């Protein structure tokens, strides 16, 4: 279909990533120091780590409206503590442990791809592709293989049947040929990064020849931790500098829409005296002496960064930027031409989440009502007015698409952006208006700066007329992305006809499919009604799936969904976490248009409960 092809050619510039090191970098400037600067405690375990909860009661689950978690087995090795109030054992997996799991998985993926290359040499293409999809030896915890011809034709890509026979030789938005870069990396057996299904994917690729035809074989995974992405982007830039020159790397780093930008994660480079040589977010800093640059609380970040790499060669630093905690990975490299040493770095905001974004928008709405229309719009674009928090800024539109405020890009104020599109060709402003008008408030996803972003918008009634206010950010943890996708699907499902909802949940391209994350919907009696793009699972009775205790997994899902929460499960292929949410709505609905706006017309006489689920494998 045309939509599929449009999505396919939107694949982004590939980035070479050399071998990774499993060693742990040195760490400087503890978060407790930042907490003292901000005069508030940092709850690092609660905010920056994935939490797995095991219910000690084997027979019953609490049936209240609070968020719950049901677990049937052991999670990966982690720290444990027991809640005195609930008697529930909480196993906390740190970001460091998650990154170590990812790195171990990368080793396994390299071995699987190398074995796949040997397998293709012994068998026909048809038998190979069929085996990759049916034989469990080619399934690594939900990760499977892809196969392309060197001319760009996809023969297999994981379980994405929509991609088969599509030609991906077309150039991406940056003009870089997707297949050519993959082929180039495959000849050396390298890791590359690209955007696939609205998410950052890391792929290990190798090429092989058979019957005068060159094939590209690889496997991908979606990391979604800020630490992993920042570190790998830095290593990719250093690899480029070592292969070519530091100057060549500086040029690419300084492109704000280039290969070394992933949402609000971007690269910078300094010499050992504190002079900025490259910057992926603010080119005006290039050439400036920033040795004495201070963060929001007076911390000399660049001095600490230089000392860290002199002492340890690489490591992590923490500081405050625009009032929010930022964590950055830095590493020293030597230019092969000049022999001069430079520091490459990239940072991310570990504690920005969907709740904070929503509260930020509510703060903006309250300011409109207290300060007035004109004053509020001015404050949204004024740097010191309190409406810039880390990566968060406020935007405001009229319902006709005219932008009235934008803290990130004030150059667009006064312009009608009704036809503006994201990198995948989706009409962003039209989507903002549709959600605000039909739902009053809600979330939507789009592609921006080579990464998937989430935005929350709200319709505001003012004496000057309707105003749509919002803010966006880039989720950087799997659990945040899973929960947000489930809640976004819940909101959409409540406000749109069933047929339209299921089509949106299963079509490609779709902002309800995010890398390896997708939406499943089950009836109250355990029948699968939709499961992303996998049509084979529709009408399957999932009540037959048992957990370790022999209890039906769907029973846990049904109980936990009443308040919204997590269900954990382990089978032969790995450990899975699922966020579930219950939705009660009319059984039969149709849609119509009113004044050019898409509306839902409810015609149901009865209500039925559904369970929305989004899962990921660890």
Q: How far, in Å, CA of 299 to CA of 302, rounded?
A: 9
Q: Would you state the pLDDT for residue 440?
A: 94
Task: Enter the DSSP assignment of 13.
Answer: P
Q: How far, in Å, CA of 538 to CA of 19, rounded?
A: 41
Cβ-contact 502, 523 below 8 angstroms? no
> What tokens does 396 get?
């405001």
Cβ-contact 190, 203 below 8 angstroms? no
Q: Is 116 helix (H, G, I), strand (E, B) or coil?
A: helix
Q: What angle do CA 172, 175, 181 make, to 5 degrees?
A: 75
Q: Which residue has the tokens 């630093």?
A: 317
Does the domain made of 354-473 have the CATH classification 3.40.50.12280? Answer: no
Q: Is 440 left (phi over 0), alpha (psi -120 to 50) or beta?
A: left
* CATH 3.30.450.20-classified regions of the chain: 2-13+97-221, 225-348, 354-473
> What tokens does 15 get?
């980035």
DSSP secondary structure, 363-389, as one string: HHHHHHHHH-HHHHHHHHT-TTSS--B
- Topology annotation, domain 50-93+478-617: Beta-Lactamase (3.30.450)
pTM passes above 0.85: no
Q: Is 189 left (phi over 0), alpha (psi -120 to 50) or beta?
A: left
Q: How far, in Å, CA of 243 to CA of 329, rounded?
A: 21
> Measured between alpha carbons, how far is residue 133 from residues 144, 409, 497 in Å?
8, 46, 34
* Sign of the torsion angle spanned by Cα atoms 187, 188, 194, 196: positive
Phi first, then psi: give them for residue 576, nearest 5 degrees: -120, 135
Q: Is 537 helix (H, G, I), strand (E, B) or coil?
A: helix
Strands 89-93 and 79-82 turn out to be antiparallel
Contacts of 124 by beta carbon, 8 Å cutoff, 6+ apart: none
Q: How many CB atoms lie under 10 A from the CB of residue 82?
A: 12
* Sign of the torsion angle spanned by Cα atoms 241, 245, 249, 252: negative
Determine whether 22 is exposed, middle or buried from the number of CB atoms within 10 Å of its CB (0-12, 13-18, 19+): exposed
Strands 68-71 and 565-571 turn out to be parallel
Task: Enter the DSSP assignment of 271.
Answer: E
Q: Is 560 helix (H, G, I), strand (E, B) or coil?
A: helix
**Which residues pair with residue 520 across a beta bridge?**
531, 613
Q: Where are the alpha helices (DSSP H) in 393-550?
A: 428-439, 478-495, 498-506
Q: How far, in Å, CA of 125 to CA of 503, rounded?
A: 33
Task: Enter the DSSP assignment of 341.
Answer: E
Cβ burial 136-151 (10 Å sphere, 16+ → b, else e): eebbbbbbbbbbbbbe
Phi first, then psi: give them for residue 449, nearest 5 degrees: 55, 45
Q: How far, in Å, CA of 519 to CA of 229, rounded?
A: 25
Task: Enter the DSSP assignment of 236.
Answer: H
Q: How far, in Å, CA of 232 to CA of 18, rounded?
A: 9
Q: How far, in Å, CA of 421 to CA of 447, rounded?
A: 9
> What tokens does 88 get?
């529930």
Q: How far, in Å, CA of 82 to CA of 314, rounded?
A: 36
Query: Which H/E stretch holds residue 194?
Result: strand 190-196
Residues of the chain with pLDDT under 50: 1-92, 171-176, 591-602
Q: Which residue has the tokens 């007035």?
A: 372
Q: Would you state the pLDDT for residue 95?
A: 63
> What tokens does 246 get?
């530091």
Cβ-contact 539, 527 below 8 angstroms? yes
Cβ burial 39-73 (10 Å sphere, 16+ → b, else e): eeebebeeebbbebbbbeeeeebbeeeeebbbbbe
DSSP secondary structure, 201-232, as one string: EEEEEEEEEETTEEEEEEEEE----HHHHHHH
> What tokens does 278 get?
């490259």
Cβ-contact 513, 197 below 8 angstroms? yes
Helices 498-506 and 478-495 meet at what angle, rounded to 10?
Answer: 150
Q: Is 123 helix (H, G, I), strand (E, B) or coil?
A: coil
Cβ-contact 613, 526 below 8 angstroms? no
> What tokens does 395 get?
């935007």
Q: Would you state the pLDDT for residue 441?
A: 94
> What tokens does 562 get?
């009443």
Q: How far, in Å, CA of 54 to CA of 69, rounded?
A: 7
Task: Give the right CATH number for 225-348 from 3.30.450.20, 2.90.10.10, 3.30.420.40, 3.40.980.10.
Answer: 3.30.450.20
Q: How far, in Å, CA of 292 to CA of 303, rounded?
A: 7
Architecture of the structural domain at 2-13+97-221:
2-Layer Sandwich (3.30)
Q: Would you state the pLDDT for residue 287?
A: 96
């Amino acid at each position: 279909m045309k939509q599929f092809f449009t999505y396919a050619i939107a694949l982004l510039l590939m980035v070479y990533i050399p071998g990774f090191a499993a060693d742990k970098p040195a760490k400087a400037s503890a978060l407790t120091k930042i907490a003292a600067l901000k005069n508030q405690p940092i709850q690092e375990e609660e905010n920056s780590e994935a939490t797995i909860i095991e219910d000690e009661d084997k027979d019953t689950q609490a049936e209240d409206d609070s968020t719950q978690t049901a677990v049937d087995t052991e999670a990966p090795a982690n720290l444990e503590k027991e809640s005195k109030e609930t008697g529930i054992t909480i196993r906390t997996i740190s970001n460091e442990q998650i990154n170590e799991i990812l790195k171990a998985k990368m080793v396994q993926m390299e071995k699987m791809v190398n074995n796949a290359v040997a397998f293709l040499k012994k068998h026909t293409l048809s038998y190979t592709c069929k085996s990759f999809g049916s034989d469990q030896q080619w399934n690594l915890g939900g990760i499977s293989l892809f196969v392309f011809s060197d001319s760009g034709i996809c023969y297999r890509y994981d379980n994405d049947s929509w991609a088969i026979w599509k030609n991906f030789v077309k150039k991406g938005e940056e003009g870089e040929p997707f297949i050519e870069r993959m082929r180039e990396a495959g000849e050396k057996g390298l890791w590359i990064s690209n955007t696939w299904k609205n998410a950052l994917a890391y792929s290990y690729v190798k090429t092989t020849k058979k019957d005068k035809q060159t094939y590209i074989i690889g496997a991908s995974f979606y990391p979604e931790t800020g630490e992993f992405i920042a570190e790998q982007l830095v290593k990719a830039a250093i690899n480029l500098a070592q292969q070519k020159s530091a100057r060549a790397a500086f040029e690419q780093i300084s492109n704000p829409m280039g290969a070394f930008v992933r949402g609000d994660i971007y690269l910078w480079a300094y010499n050992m005296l504190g002079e900025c040589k490259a910057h992926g977010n603010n080119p005006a800093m290039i050439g400036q002496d920033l040795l004495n640059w201070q963060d929001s609380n007076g911390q000399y970040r660049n001095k600490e960064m230089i000392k860290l790499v002199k002492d340890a060669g690489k490591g992590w630093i923490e500081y405050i930027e625009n009032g929010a905690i930022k964590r950055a990975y830095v590493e020293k490299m030597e230019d092969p031409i000049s022999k001069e040493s430079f520091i490459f770095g990239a940072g991310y905001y570990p504690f920005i989440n969907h709740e904070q974004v929503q509260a930020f928008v509510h703060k903006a709405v309250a300011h409109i009502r207290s300060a007035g229309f004109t004053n509020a719009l001015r404050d949204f674009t004024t740097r010191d007015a309190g409406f810039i928090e880390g990566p968060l800024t406020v935007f405001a539109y009229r319902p006709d698409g005219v932008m009235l405020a934008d803290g990130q890009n004030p150059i667009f104020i006064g312009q009608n952006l009704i036809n503006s599109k994201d990198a995948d060709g989706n009409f962003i402003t039209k989507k903002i208006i549709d959600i605000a008008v039909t739902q009053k408030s809600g979330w939507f996803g789009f592609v921006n700066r080579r990464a998937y972003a989430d935005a929350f918008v709200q319709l505001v009634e003012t004496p000057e007329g309707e105003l749509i206010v919002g803010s966006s950010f880039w989720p950087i943890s799997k659990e945040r992305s899973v929960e947000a996708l489930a809640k976004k699907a819940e909101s959409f499902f409540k406000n749109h006809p069933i047929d339209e909802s299921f089509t949106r949940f299963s079509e490609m391209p779709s902002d309800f499919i995010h890398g390896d994350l997708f939406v499943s919907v089950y009836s109250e009696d355990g029948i699968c009604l939709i499961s992303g793009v996998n049509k084979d699972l529709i009408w399957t009775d999932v009540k037959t799936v048992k957990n370790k205790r022999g209890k039906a997994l769907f029973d846990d899902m049904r109980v936990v969904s009443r308040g919204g929460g997590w269900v954990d499960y382990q089978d032969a292929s790995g450990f899975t976490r699922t966020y579930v949410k219950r939705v009660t709505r009319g059984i039969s609905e149709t849609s119509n248009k009113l004044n050019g706006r898409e509306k839902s017309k409810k015609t149901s006489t009865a209500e039925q409960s559904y369970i929305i689920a989004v899962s990921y494998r660890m």
